Structure 1
Amino acid sequence: MAETPEPIRFDTKIAVLLRHDLASWQALNVTGFLVSGIATDKDLIGDAYEDADGTEYLPMIRQPIVVLAGDAEQLRAAHAKAVARELPTAVYTSEMFATGNDRDNRAAVRAVRRDDLDLVGIAVHGPKNAVDKTFKGAGLHP
């Protein structure tokens, strides 16, 4: 009889927190951008996929990502905690909706002091406990 493989457990967690009042297209866009920042950690990327016909597909992040929603104050608080805990963090600000490229996105963030960023989303990766404490009080995105 074949053995059932042990469940895969992760010591780390990836979480995205979005401002709850974003339009659907904005929430999806912001999530995609934020996760692309987290994906720069090559240790998080799994192996390439392949279907039964041998068609290869790109590898993806190898662990689940939780997407949460909160208000502007929850975003500010979570951002401050993530920075204080030195967790790898990606940010998306409201000003970035008006830009059309990476250079202008970086300039929009650089123009504003950390505590004054108009955050619409952040993503973090780190030890489960630290990520959970960073996002305490935020609920799952609907």
Structure 2
Amino acid sequence: MFDTKIAFIVRDDLPTWQRLNVVAFLATGVAATAPEIMGAPYVDAKGRQYGNMSGQPMLIFAADINGLQTAHRKGLERELTLIPYVHAMFSTGYDEANRDVFMAEDADNLNLVGLGVRGPKKIVDKVIKGLRLHD
């Protein structure tokens, strides 16, 4: 089993395509901060090689803005790896602009639409307690 847990929390009032987009971006952030979770490349029966992906399960939860901000606060208090995605990032077209709009946010009241969380399993469980799995 795994000592760590990975959870994504996505805002429940977004259109489905935005939710999926946010989770995809958050997953790349988790993979970048924890390259050890990456499995080996896949090879099919004809020997063709494909890319690799995480060998660890990832759970996706839905929450309103208050649930996201609460999880963010708890994650900061517990010093977990956090990957935030704020609403203003939807209006940018490239990574540097994302950093600029993120820096402009009220750091104590982020307008979060998504949050990736990774850390020791028991601690992550405390951060996501009360949130519902995304349906």
Q: TM-score range by the shorter chain?
A: over 0.9
Match of residue 121 from structure 2: 128
Deviation at 1:116, TM superposition (A): 2.1
Q: Which amino acid aligns with 1:140?
A: L
Match of 1:38 among 9, 30, 48: 30
Match of residue 3 from structure 2: 11
Distance 1:64 1:124 in 2: 13
Aligned counterparts, 1:88-107, within 5 A = 88-107=81-100
Unmatched tracts of structure 1, length 5 or more: 1-8
Task: Please provide the CA RMSD for this pair.
Answer: 0.8
Match of residue 58 from structure 1: 51
Distance 1:82 1:57 in 2: 34
Corresponding residue SS for 1:129? helix
Corresponding residue SS for 2:124? helix
Q: Which runs of 4+ in 1 moved over 6 A?
A: none
Match of residue 74 from structure 2: 81
TM-score with structure 2 length normalisation? 0.96
Does residue 15 of structure 2 align to residue 23 of structure 1?
A: yes
Match of residue 70 from structure 1: 63
Percentage of identical aligned residues: 46
Corresponding residue SS for 2:108? helix
Larger Rg: 1
CA offsets 1:2-42 (integer angstroms, 9 cap, x no match)? xxxxxxx1111100001111100100000000010000121
Aligned length: 134
Deviation at 1:93, TM superposition (A): 0.4
Deviation at 1:127, TM superposition (A): 0.9
Deviation at 1:57, TM superposition (A): 0.9
Deviation at 1:59, TM superposition (A): 1.0
